[in-house]
Amino acid sequence: MKESAQAALSFARVQATRLGLRSDFLSDREIHIHVPAGGVPKDGPSAGVTMACVLVSLVSGIPVRRDVAMTGEITLRGRVLPIGGLKEKLLAAVRAGMRVAIVPATNMAELSEVPSHLRQRIKIHLVHTVDEALVVALTRPLPHPKSAAVAPRGPAAPVVTPPRRGGAA
């Protein structure tokens, strides 16, 4: 859990820079993320995407939607990693009244194990990156980045080079 929080904090710092805020925005503030022990046994860490979304919300001032459940561990570069116990987590989300769930795209195969009546009660968004999760989780879009120093990772677009016309190069 501590590693999840550290990865989320690092990601939020990157987001602060992308938003044009001071690069030390979070360094002069004390951040305490309290995760109560006990409760439900888990298959491993899975709160990274949630913590990252909350910290980006704090930095940007944009609230997180109230009807969204999310799960997934993250890397320092913002990739969302697979989790265990997807069926149980979706069941808990539906019982809690959530209408939307953000789930790692790498868990897509496990969706076949989720009963159809459960899948019909919650809209599932499969994400590869925290940036994709933020689009779903936040109540409004993040402002456009001030610089392209940190671009979201994803499938590369094909590069098309126009044909050269005329004279020598």
The catalytic position among 4, 10, 57, 89 is 89
Catalytic annotation present for 46: yes
The predicted pLDDT at position 97 comes to: 96
Note the pLDDT of residue 139: 96
Predicted pLDDT of residue 21: 61
Per-residue pLDDT of the chain (169 residues), as tens digits, is: 777 778 888 877 777 777 656 667 667 777 777 776 654 555 457 889 999 998 888 888 899 999 999 999 998 888 999 999 999 999 999 999 999 999 999 999 999 999 999 999 999 999 999 999 999 999 998 876 554 444 444 444 444 444 445 555 4
Cα separation, 69 vs 166, whole angstroms: 57
4 is catalytic: no
Token pair, residue 136, equals 């779903």
Task: Please tell me which residue in 10, 46, 57, 60 is annotated as part of the active site.
Answer: 46
Q: Please tell me whether the overall predicted TM-score, pTM, comes out greater than 0.95 for this model.
A: no
Task: Enumerate domains of the chain plus CATH numbers.
Answer: 2-34+41-137 (3.30.230.10)
